[in-house]
A = this chain, B = another copy of it.
């Protein structure tokens, strides 16, 4: 099916249906062997290898990450919504946030709030410290923090090699 290339504004990348199929497969299992991807799109390994290389170099594939059970790893996850002071640009806070090890993701939002941050901390005390750290920059006019109790992401439960004998 032909879902269309809407982007075009900044990226000169053209994706065909095979590229999109590969992306959908890798989204669900980033460790899927090239040989298996090739079988899924009815090609041999060589062109699939080259296509993935092209997708990586062009920035369409930004990376491959393992998803870890945060509680098994003894961690706490949370989000903080941040509203910025009127004279502060999002880029200013982003620079601060990227330097903090506890920051896992930063989302710039169209509307209110201005920024959404995902934290990876050891406990609530740690969370309080990092959120206070953001407040103390003087760049924010308000924060609201959401503690994650449970989370689910598409693909994560199917991603492991299930050996069907």
Taking Cβ atoms with an 8 Å cutoff, the residues of A that contact B are 3-7, 9-11, 13, 15, 20, 23, 26-31, 56, 58-69, 71-74, 77, 79, 90, 94, 98, 103-111, 113, 116, 122-123, 146-161
Contacts A146-B109, A152-B106 given; indicate if A123 touches B6 (C-beta within 8 A).
yes
Question: Which chain B residues lie closer than 8 Å to A77 at the CB level?
Answer: 107
Q: Is the CB of A11 within 8 A of B64?
A: no
Q: Is the CB of B62 within 8 A of A65?
A: no
A26 CA to B60 CA, complexed, in Å: 20
Copies in the complex: 2
Contacts A58-B72, A94-B152 given; indicate if A64 touches B63 (C-beta within 8 A).
no
A107 CA to B6 CA, complexed, in Å: 28
- A152 and chain B: residue at smallest CB distance: B106
Contacts A116-B146, A153-B104 given; indicate if A71 touches B159 (C-beta within 8 A).
no
Question: Which chain B residues lie closer than 8 Å to A157 at the CB level?
Answer: 5-6, 62-63
Q: Is the CB of B146 within 8 A of A23?
A: no
A148 CA to B81 CA, complexed, in Å: 13
A155 CA to B30 CA, complexed, in Å: 15
